Structure 1
Amino acid sequence: MSTTRPKSPILYFAYGANMNGGQISSRCRTKPRVVAVAKLPGYGIAFFGHSERWDGGEETALARAEESLWGVVYELSHSAFDHLDAWQGAKLDGSGPYFHSPAEAIGEDGTTYAVLLYRKDILGEARAPSTEYLEHIVSGAEEHGLPAAYVRKLRSITSEKAGYPVPRADDADRILGAALSCAC
């Protein structure tokens, strides 16, 4: 007789827009459990490329020896993480715009968490985020009570007002919205 052990949940470290509770819940199709507010020593947030949705640079975690990247550790089921992968464009063959990066996050109480985070595969040109996108990120940071000094640091990032109304729906909204709402 064989027994199947349930898969253990995935600990996901959100440091950008996915800190926003409404966004992460929508993309995972469930409200993930918040495990901790934590930091990744030796990383910082940076913006590259261009997001059509937000008309500005997209965030990634970049190695920076003297910095710490703060964020939220969420507990996700494998199904929820698959949905999030689809939204992020993370693919097993590595061809998507983001890839999984394992790391150790340190909670405010000193607990260490083995986490996965998304990092941009191809950075492209450094580009400021739109003011609206940066505010969306800051809103998520405040929602989860990230340290005030870090929130001030986020607010100090140079941004530019979007040139059109944002967030703009894109193909991902139409395709994933239809596919993920399927009861099949």
Structure 2
Amino acid sequence: MLYFAYGSNMKFERISKRIKDVEYVDIGQLLNYKLFCNKKSKDGTAKANIVYNYGDLVWGVLYEIDESHYPKLDLIEGGYERKVFEIQTENGKKILANAYISTKFTDAFPSSSYKDLIVQGAIENNFPDEYIEYLVKLPVSE
């Protein structure tokens, strides 16, 4: 089953250390959502999250992950709920993929090292400059 990563797991090096047998598929967009770093984390900082916001979009990376690995990913992504979303690939094809979303919000900011992982993942996957610029401008806690 496909997994749509929009945060730190966009970096292949990170997701491949967390989950074995992950395979890069494509990049895609989640329409009518916006990326915020507002998910409450155990360490007191914020993590990436998607929030419904008509007219916006979230860029992310599509990976193929065997169904047997999702329980481990669910534990890693604690505090999120796994849901199926319709993702649009670069060529306009619409496909279904798992993504994680949280309703446990915080006013905290992400750490600079966490934000750097997100920005690096976006650059690594050749996201549009304006989206990378949005990520670069996200405020941090340090």
CA distance in 1 between partners of 2:41 and 2:67 (Å): 29
- Following the alignment from structure 2 to structure 1, what is the Cα–Cα distance between the partners of residues 77 and 122? 19
Where 1:137 maps in the other structure, the secondary structure is: helix
Q: Contact 1:38/1:73 (CA < 8 Å) preserved in 2?
A: yes
Q: 1:136 aligns with which of 99, 117, 127?
A: 117
The CA distance in 1 between the partners of 2:42 and 2:46, in whole Å, is 6
Question: In structure 1, which of residues 32, 41, 46 is the aligned counterpart of residue 31 of structure 2?
Answer: 41
What stretches of structure 1 of length at least 5 have no aligned partner? 1-9, 90-96, 162-184
TM-score normalised by structure 2 residue count: 0.91
Residues 1:101 and 2:90 aligned together: no
Alignment of 1:17-166 (within 5 A): 17-30=8-21, 32-48=22-38, 49-52=40-43, 56-89=45-78, 97-123=79-105, 125-161=106-142
Q: Which has the higher contact order (CA 8 A, sep 6+)?
A: 2
Pair 50,87 (structure 1): closer, same or farther in 2 beyond 3 Å = closer
Count residues in correspondence.
Answer: 141
Native 8 Å contact 2:108 2:141 kept in 1? no
Which deviates further from its counterpart, 60-69 or 77-86? 77-86
Q: Percent identity?
A: 28
Question: Do 1:51 and 1:58's aligned partners in 2 also have CA atoms closer than 8 Å?
Answer: no
What TM-score comes out, normalization by structure 1 length? 0.71
**How large is the RMSD of aligned CA atoms in angstroms?**
1.5
What per-residue deviation string (whole Å, max 9, x for no partner) do you get for residues 89-144 of structure 1?
3xxxxxxx111121111011101110110011422x22221111111111111112
Q: Give 5+ residue unaligned stretches, structure 2.
A: none
User: CA–CA distance in 1 between the matches of 2:118 and 2:99?
Assistant: 16
- Following TM superposition, by how much is the alpha carbon of 1:67 offset from its aligned partner in structure 2, in angstroms? 1.0
**Greater CA radius of gyration, 1 or 2?**
1
Equivalence for 2:3: 12
